Amino acid sequence: MSENTSNRWIKPVLITALLWNILGILAFVMQLFLSPEMISKLPEEQQLAYNSQPLWATLAFAIAVFGGALGCVLLLFKKSLATITLIISLAAILAQQYYNFMIINSINLFGISAILMPIAVTIIAIALVYLSFHLKQQDYFK
């Protein structure tokens, strides 16, 4: 796919998506390194949620954010592996949302605002998967 006026939007969109995923990585690292003192300042129900989070939910968070960032980098370098990487990231996001909404009921823990970010994350992940399929149809990948 040649660089022409019809596809100049791709690089800025991908850089923005990469930055979005880097913010997700920062959120993951911050959650991973919450000290016991910081957790003890939370309401009791939130303390329980943080202290009892299963390994699979933590791994889903990691796969979601690192997979999303890697997928964006692969798209920037026009590598077809981006599509499967972004699909895996989306699957991890869905697993994470299952944990948040079905197992710990994060809306009860954190209020209605707990639904806004997960919706945005899921929509952006779906959009990135769609974009990777769209770019594949346009012979974007090397």
Q: Which residues 6+ apart lie within 8 Å of 15 measured at CB? A: 76
Helix (H, G, I), strand (E, B) or coil at 100: helix
Q: What is the pLDDT of residue 4?
A: 57
Model pLDDT for residues 12-53, shown as the tens digit of each residue: 999 999 999 999 999 999 999 999 999 999 888 888 888 899
User: Measuring CA to CA, how many Å separate 91 from each of 10, 30, 75, 112?
Assistant: 24, 22, 18, 24
Burial of residue 67 (number of CB atoms within 10 Å: 0-12, 13-18, 19+): buried
Residue 59 CA to residue 63 CA, distance in Å, equals: 6
Summarised one tens digit per residue, pLDDT across range 113-137 is 889 999 999 999 999 999 999 999 9
Q: What is the DSSP track for 51-75? A: HT--HHHHHHHHHHHHHHHHHHHHH
Question: How high is the pLDDT of residue 1?
Answer: 46
> What dihedral do alpha carbons 119, 124, 129, 131 form, nearest 10°?
140
Q: Write the Ramachandran bin of 2: left for phi over 0, alpha for psi from -120 to 50, otherwise beta.
A: beta
Whole-number CA gyration radius for the chain: 17
